[in-house]
Structures are given as C-alpha cells and as structure tokens.
C-alpha cells in the first residue's frame, strides 16, 4: 500500500467533478476484473477514476487475510474508490475507516442484482431501505475526518421514479458525495437503459450524478450526457472489452494490449485473469477460428508466444 503522505498528492474525485467541464470518466467496480493492473491500464487511456471490485465489508473488517487478498494498491493507483457491500452502518463505517489512508473514497453497493448478494442483505435489496442507506452514508461520513474523502452510492432504479428520486435525495441529505445510477431495475437485464429516469434524478438532486449502463464508447458518453445532463459516465462491459474507449478508440489498440501485458506481468496478475482480460479485449478483432485457438491457450508463455507471432507484440 502507498503511504498516507504519498496519497495526499493525488487529485481527489470531488475536485474532478468540480473542475472538469466534461463528464468525469469512471471505470466500474467489476468482480474479478477491476483490480490493480486493469485500473492502472485504463488510466493510461483517459479514465479519471477507477473503482475496485465490490468487497464484502464484514470479512474485510474481520480478516487481515481477506484485506490482503481483496485489496491491493500502489502510489500510482489514484484516484481510487473502494466499493463495499454492507448491510449495516457500522460495517461500512469500520471498513471505510480502515481504507481511508489508502484511497480517495468509498462507495456503497446498492445495485448488485445477484440473488446471493440480496439474500445476504447486500446490493440492490438496499434500494427498498432508504433510511438504512441514509444511516450508512451518515455514519460513514461522520467517521472519516477528511472532507476530501468521498462517500458515494451506486444504485439501480426502483420501479417508481419518484421513489428513486427520494432515495437519492435522502442519500444527499446524509452527506453522499455523488450517486451513480444504473438505469435499470434489479429485475432487468438486457432491457434498454432508462435515460429519462437518470435525467429526472439529475434534475432533482444537488450532488453529482453518474450514469451507468450500456456505455460502450465515447459516442455513447456524448449521447447520454446530452440526454441526461449527468456529471460523469461509468463503464463496465464497454471498458472491459476496450480499455481505451474513453480515449476515443473504437476497438482496443495494440498499444493498449501491450500496456496490459506489461502491467499485468509487473504486478504478478494470475494467468486466468491475465488471459480473460485479453479475451475480452481481442474478441471483436479476432476471427472466430482464431478466437477458439487464443481462448484455449493455457499459460502465460503460450499467450505471449501467440501475440509475438501474430501481432509482433513482445515483452
């Protein structure tokens, strides 16, 4: 971990929202994927803020082993927001207090629609508990004695726009720094993102609003910004497939693939994660027959040999 003194040199997320005329560009929290090497990669290509994968606050608090396994950073890994899944205010505040010297903010996951998470009281089930969200934000905000440290919330939509707006307003009153809105309800998967609902939220709160859902290109960012007026864009699948999307690339450039290899190797990224990222990055450019070959490779050396032979990429 970087020291607290080193961390003070980095521009904070709230400064980015206040100083940028363009929307703040954010890499979403993605299970297994938005880890250190990938966060470092997307920052090379126009990403302003990177999130960690969702971390269960309860295990993070109780276990040093869990902390070492789930959270890795370095002095260049900034601005950084750590996302937690929590079901009560104390757990979120305790986790935030532990992480505060090494990050620029925490985010409460109120959007994960997976059944296991909701059964444990995490994720999207919280959007039906606005008072609990308010308490979690308030206690966390009061625990951290640093006004630059952000406490944000990521939600999905409720079925009723008015209820979603009220939820965001309560979070704002509790001290939330900003809210990220995935424009679907927890039960929706492939349905179109509800940009009208995101626009209504933006019009009815005073804190920054970040749009999430189906943002896969810089063109999508412009379209969503024009429709909603939001302050930021968060991408998940889009930036996974093309880590250079915020820099305006339509597909992953070879320079980005080379940068990924160097970063992943430098921090000791496990092979499966290393390979899976490349599978996503190269999916659109490889013919189906080549994809089968590339996807079946089973070692780092085999992947490097393939890329060197077919793309003249060497490390």
Q: Is residue 221 within 8 Å of 215, Cβ to Cβ?
A: yes
Q: Is residue 47 flagged as an active site residue?
A: no
- Contact between 20 and 38 under an 8 Å Cβ cutoff? The reply is no
Out of 27, 112, 221, 256, which one is annotated catalytic?
112
- Residue 54 contacts residue 85 (beta carbons within 8 Å): yes
Catalytic residues: 112
């Amino acid at each position: 971990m970087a020291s607290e003194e080193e961390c003070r040199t980095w521009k904070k997320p709230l400064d980015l929202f206040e100083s940028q005329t363009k929307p703040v560009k954010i890499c979403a929290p993605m299970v297994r994927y938005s880890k250190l090497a990938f966060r470092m990669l997307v920052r090379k290509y126009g990403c302003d803020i990177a999130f960690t994968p969702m971390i269960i606050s309860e295990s993070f608090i109780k276990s040093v082993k869990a902390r070492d396994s789930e959270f890795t950073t370095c002095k260049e890994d900034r601005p950084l927001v750590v996302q937690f899944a929590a079901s009560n205010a104390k757990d979120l505040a305790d986790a935030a207090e532990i992480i505060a010297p090494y990050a620029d903010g925490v985010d409460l996951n109120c959007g994960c629609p997976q059944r296991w998470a909701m059964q444990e009281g995490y994720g999207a089930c919280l959007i039906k508990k606005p008072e609990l969200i308010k308490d979690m934000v308030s206690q966390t905000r009061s625990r951290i004695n640093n006004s630059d440290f952000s406490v944000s919330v990521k939600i999905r939509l409720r079925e009723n726009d008015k209820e979603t707006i009220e939820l965001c307003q309560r979070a704002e009153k509790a001290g939330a720094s900003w809210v990220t809105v995935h424009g679907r309800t927890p039960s929706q998967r492939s349905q179109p993102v509800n940009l009208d609902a995101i626009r209504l939220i933006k019009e009815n709160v005073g804190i920054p609003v970040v749009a999430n859902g189906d943002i896969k290109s810089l063109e999508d960012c412009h379209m969503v910004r024009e429709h909603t007026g939001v302050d930021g864009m968060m991408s998940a699948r889009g930036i996974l497939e093309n880590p250079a999307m915020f820099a305006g690339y339509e597909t992953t450039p070879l320079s980005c693939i080379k940068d990924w290899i160097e970063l992943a190797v430098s921090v000791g990224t496990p092979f499966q994660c290393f390979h899976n990222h490349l599978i996503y990055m190269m999916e659109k450019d490889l013919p189906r027959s080549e994809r089968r070959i590339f996807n079946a490779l089973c070692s780092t050396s085999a992947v490097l040999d393939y890329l060197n032979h077919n793309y003249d990429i060497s490390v």
